[in-house]
Structure 1
Amino acid sequence: MTAAGRALIACPQCDTLYFEPEIREEQTASCLRCGRVLAAPRTNAYLRTLSLSLTAVILMIGAVFFPFIELEAAGLRNRTSVLDAILAFSSGLMLPLSLAVALLIVLIPLTRLAAIVYTIYPLARRRRPFAHAATAFRLAEGLRPWSMAEIFIFGVSVALVKVAGLASVSFGPAFWAFAGLVVVMVLQDNSMCRYTIWKSLEQERA
């Protein structure tokens, strides 16, 4: 805290320090040095973030268990899901690859979404945060760089372009669920004002 009792916040991009801004809904506070958005509270932001997070969880579950792609070549047809792909490499020397796919594509994104829902749900209903909500949100922010569901779908798309010349490829519902998941997660990240969430958690804790 400063001598005047105002807190300091740091830009997450360039670490420039600012006095805590007094900002209203639909206004945006940006860093003067690099232009990074520091705070952007929006009307019904909690409810919007909660809805998008729950949508992402549903899409993730469908993307894991439903058929992802179907390949047909020389009269042979094979259909597989993300879960089947993970289990296919779950033995021998390929076990680390299986664990990496399960963690980065499924478990970490789901854990992050669950932590966000745990944090946002009481705030959206204008209630006191759940116990350890700050820890859960800190976990969600820490897992953010490791949530790679969107990278997976881009990588698969590139691979399928090459496979399409060798076999007939058709997309299953899980592929479209993953594609929708990428869009929903981008919208969720853009709608979530982290400054506002931390501010609400700190006020309740105080």
Structure 2
Amino acid sequence: MSEAPAIPLSDLIVCPHCDAVYTLRRPENGEKASCGRCGADLITPRRKAGLQIIAVSLAIAILIIAATVFPFLTIDAAGTTNSMSILDAVFAFNHGLLIALSLAMASLIIVIPLTRALLGIYVLVPIVLDRPPARGAVHAFRLSEALRPWSMAEIFAIGCAVALVKISGIADVSFGPAFWMFVALVILTIFQDNFVCRWSVWNSLDKA
């Protein structure tokens, strides 16, 4: 009885969620390959997806920088008006051990999302232009993926919504430009994470 021929590793794909192994078949643009066990998307090629993701990443970087400068909220209570930016909120805790909390908050809602956006641009621009990957592109994309669970801009937005509900009864609250920038930032971040086909990126880097 002869043994079945071994399948090259390059012809296999593993589900990152449940570790199911499949024979690789690249779907056409607009189609997708999903895991038959857990339903996770494995390959989701889209036409000009790289260029769109670069544009989204650039928009995210601009919004993050702008949202930290402009007023986020304006609170009017008992005749006193106070405007606060995201940086003011982040560094409101500036005594003792609370400084560590401020730094962690700044990292989760500003530094990490901005870093991921810049890493995405760094990795994808050469691929889209059909040029060799940038130096250290594999490590850059791996770092971007490792930071993904720690990018918590949407958690900050939910926390702000809860706080606004609690204080709306005792003060007049108006939204500043940074609030709407942050809303757009959260939407674009979710779009970016769900739109990128990670297999296509890894495949392009592996070929190079």
Indicate the percent of aligned positions where both proteins have the same amino acid.
Answer: 49
- Read off the aligned partner of 1:146 and give its amino acid letter: W
* Equivalence map 1:155-166=2 (5 Å): 155-166=159-170
* Equivalence map 1:122-141=2 (5 Å): 122-141=126-145
Runs of 5+ in structure 2 lacking a partner?
A: none
- Paired residue total: 203
Q: Which residue of 2 aligns with 1:196?
A: 200
Kindly state the Cα deviation for residue 111 of structure 1 after the two structures are TM-superposed.
1.0
Two-structure CA RMSD over aligned residues (Å): 1.3
Q: Which residue of 1 aligns with 2:173?
A: 169
Match status 1:116 vs 2:126: no
Q: Which residue of 2 aligns with 1:150?
A: 154
Q: Structure 2 CA distance, aligned partners of 1:50 and 1:65? A: 23
Kindly state the Cα deviation for residue 22 of structure 1 after the two structures are TM-superposed.
2.8
TM-score, structure 2 as length reference: 0.93
Match status 1:14 vs 2:18: yes
8 A contact 1:48–1:191 mirrored in 2: no
- Read off the aligned partner of 1:203 and give its amino acid letter: K
8 A contact 1:63–1:174 mirrored in 2: yes
Q: Structure 1 CA distance, aligned partners of 2:28 and 2:8? A: 20
8 A contact 2:74–2:81 mirrored in 1: yes
User: In the TM superposition, what whole-angstrom CA distance separates every residue of 1:52-90 from its partner, at most 9, and x where no partner exists?
Assistant: 110111111111111000001111000010111222213
Among 35, 39, 48, which residue is 1:31 paired with? 35
- Read off the aligned partner of 2:56 and give its amino acid letter: L
Kindly state the Cα deviation for residue 125 of structure 1 after the two structures are TM-superposed.
1.7
8 A contact 2:14–2:21 mirrored in 1: yes
8 A contact 1:6–1:20 mirrored in 2: no
- Read off the aligned partner of 1:156 and give its amino acid letter: C
Among 75, 92, 97, which residue is 1:93 paired with? 97
TM-score, structure 1 as length reference: 0.94
Among 60, 68, 78, which residue is 1:64 paired with? 68
Among 53, 59, 73, which residue is 1:55 paired with? 59
Kindly state the Cα deviation for residue 187 of structure 1 after the two structures are TM-superposed.
1.4
User: In the TM superposition, what whole-angstrom CA distance separates every residue of 1:97-141 from its partner, at most 9, and x where no partner exists?
Assistant: 101111111111111111111111111222211011010000000
Runs of 5+ in structure 1 lacking a partner?
A: none
Q: Structure 1 CA distance, aligned partners of 2:49 and 2:37? A: 27
Deviating runs (4+, > 3 A) in structure 1?
Answer: none
8 A contact 1:30–1:38 mirrored in 2: yes
Q: Structure 1 CA distance, aligned partners of 2:26 and 2:110? A: 39
